[in-house]
Every structure is written in structure tokens, then in C-alpha cells.
Amino acid sequence: MIRKVKGTRDILPPESRLWAAVEAEARRIFGGLGYEEIRLPLLEPTELFVRGVGEGTDIVTKEMYTFADRKGRSLTLRPEGTAGVARAFIEDGLAQRPQPQRLYYIGPMFRYEKMQRGRYRQFGQIGIELLGAATPSADVEVLLALHEFLAALGFDDLIIMLNNLGDPEDRPRFVARLKEELAPHKHELCRDCQRRWDENPLRILDCKVDTCHAIVAETTPIADIVSGEARAHVETVAAGLDALGIPVQPAPRLVRGLDYYLRTVFEVVSPQLGEGTVICGGGRYDRLISDLGGPPVPGIGFAIGEDRLVDVLPQTFRDRILGTRPVVILPLAAEATAPAFDCARNLTGHGIEVRIEVTGRSLRAGLKWATKLGARAAVILGPDEIAAGTATLRDLDRGEQEEVSLEKLPAVLMQDGPEVPSRRLP
């Protein structure tokens, strides 16, 4: 038997219904705020992520699926979406369109990383990018979109963590302070942080190893060292969110795992998965597009891990999506086949979910099958019903049935339940 690749998974019904519903909410909320979908290639030149994400990041050094094609070109399965959006902005001339550009994407990403609950090597992401606005208002809009999306899914316990990374010009001063404070403990840092010491010291702040985390907790936060302009920017963002009633928590050592972030940076964590488990992360990246060879266009966005999001969906949302019960249509004679499909077309046109029996089951077997499906009603079409232009509608919860004209069938089924007379089948 051929098995799936380690780190991937099959998303089967009914879970796939949850994924579709989550994505439909994303399209509804983001579309309502003016964001339009962009669909990006799964394959990109490796250089895009080395230059965009950062050569010293864990994503580039340890997690990317990179290979040479038949012409020797280095290609990478995309590990994140923002760099691809920036590349498309430059290559496809989006700077010539009205600014700012509001974009969202939904699709798979790939990272070779340790597997754990809600984390896979092929994983879904939902993200938005707002390109062409450098004001704090743009940051507030992006976080509003995130908050409204999560609220639409029924979340009320997720935590938005917010920090200020300052500008690139602030980094040398902060890195010097960080190394000075960490120097007495350098020998206690993990092997990865020993490597990061020279390659990318900011990544030490992102280390999940307990000893490193404890050491870093005593260092000066980067927000204490940033310029006045950067400080005012993020303070204005926080005030704007407060005015909207969107709660955030300060996270003074939050840096994220990507080099392009500056000023506003944030993450969303779930108490169910533990505060170290990130469902969503994002921030401002005003230099990314110019670093990739484009014009100086500011940007801000976020990406949500869809696997983790679906894993912790509120029960109310799950019940709403998975609680729908279909109607089964049982044709009991050859001449009932075409009317059964016509009936299905009519019912689905009214938003009623149906299942058609197509294997030739008897009435008894068909009703047993319908019960296993969790159907709420069965529409029985035999020779007598076809001749009369009706259907026998059986309520599978009460075991009662009535004769209903095919014309009135959608209206009856859209009520709380079929209105049935007192006759009960044996």
C-alpha cells in the first residue's frame, strides 16, 4: 500500500466541511473590507525566500523544501505567503493600480519542521496583505479584519500579543545591548542560539528552549530602545484598537521568525493549545518590496495557520456547520430515477442538502442507510407517487410520514420539520 508523505494528511469529511466554512467566512469578512483574492504559485525561486524571509531565519536554514529542477534552477515550495505577494506586486505591476492594494490568499504552505498538534509539513494558511499605506490606521484595519474574522468563527478567548520592533536603523543599537546583556550567559544558550549569536541575534528572542527563554526574559525589551517615531506609531495602533474594543496584550520580546518585520508585530495564541502555540502572526514590513528590487512600498499583513485554527474552533461554530442533516431521496422503481434527480435539483436550489440513493436499495435498506447518514427525512418515490406527482415524506426522527406534492416539498422541508399526520409506519 502506498502511504502519504510524512507530515501531510488527508482532510476527510466531515472535517473538510469545517475547512470550507472557515474559508467562506474569511472570504466574506475580508471581501467586505475590500480585500481581493490573490492566487500564488506553490513553487517560487529559492532566492525569493532567502532575500525576503531572511538568510539566517530557521525557515531558510532548516525548514524549506528546496530542490533543483531539470535545468539546475533552485526552486522552493513556498513556506509562507508574504514574500510571494511582494514578488507579484513587483512583477505584475500592482504599483500602477489604485493604492493601497488589499489582498488575501488561502492555500497550502510547506515547511520541514517538527510535527506536533495542529502543525504539519504541508499546512494551510489564510492571510491578508495591505500594501501602500504606512500609517497606523492601516495596522488597525488589518487587526480589525483579523478580529472580525475570529469573532465570526465564535472565538472569544484568543489573545492578541503586540510588540514594537522599531525600524531597521534601531537594530544595531538593540543588538549591541542584547549581546551585552546576554554575554555573561552565552555559554548557557542552546546550540541554535550559539549559531544565531553572530548570524542573527534577534532570533535568540524567538527561541522556544526553556533555558534560553528564561535568560532572554531578563533582557531589555526592544520597544524600550526604538526611535520616538516608531514608538509613537505602535502606541497609536494600540490606542486605535482600544477605541474599537479590541483587547491586546503587550509582548515585549515578541520578534516573530521572519526578518522583514518592523514596528508593529503581533501574534494570536490559543489558551487551548498553550500560549506558546501560535495560531496567527503578522506585522509591518515597509522595506520588503524595495529589498526585493521593487519601489519603496510599505506593507502590513498576517497569516493564520488553518490547521491549528480548525483544531480549536468553538463548539458553536462546529455545531452550526456539522449539525446540518440531509434529506435522503429514495427512488423505488426505474421510472422514479429521473424524477428523483429532478427532485434533488429542486431541493438543492432551495438550499436543502440531499443524498440520492443510487445503488438500487430496497425501501427497508434505503431507510436504514438514511438513518446511518443521520438524515432528518426521506423522500420516497415509488410508482404510485410518480403517477400522482407526489412524494411520501417520512420524518426519520418521529417515524411519521405524509403525502406531499413535489411542488410543495421544498416549503415543507424548510419548516422545522415535515408536517405529518398521525399515521405511523409499522
pLDDT tens for 70-79 read 999 999 999 9
pLDDT of residue 178: 86
Q: CATH 3.40.50.800 in the chain, residues?
A: 325-413
For residue 421, is pLDDT > 60? Answer: no
* Phi, psi for 229 (deg, rounded to 5): -65, -45
Write the class of the CATH domain 15-167+226-318.
alpha beta
% of the chain exceeding 70 in pLDDT: 96
**Start-to-end CA span in the chain (Å):** 46
- How many C-beta neighbours within 10 Å does residue 418 have? 21
pLDDT of residue 141: 98
pLDDT of residue 47: 95
C-alpha triplet 63, 67, 69: angle, nearest 5°: 155
Label residue 273 by pLDDT band (50, 70, 90). Answer: low
Contact 223, 232 (CB under 8 A): no
Contact 251, 223 (CB under 8 A): no
C-alpha triplet 346, 352, 358: angle, nearest 5°: 70
For residue 331, is pLDDT > 90? Answer: yes
pTM for the structure as a whole: 0.88
* pLDDT top residue among 109 and 211: 109
Q: Which CATH superfamily is domain 325-413 in?
A: Anticodon-binding domain (3.40.50.800)
Q: CATH 3.30.930.10 in the chain, residues?
A: 15-167+226-318
* pLDDT top residue among 300 and 53: 300
Amino acid at 316: T
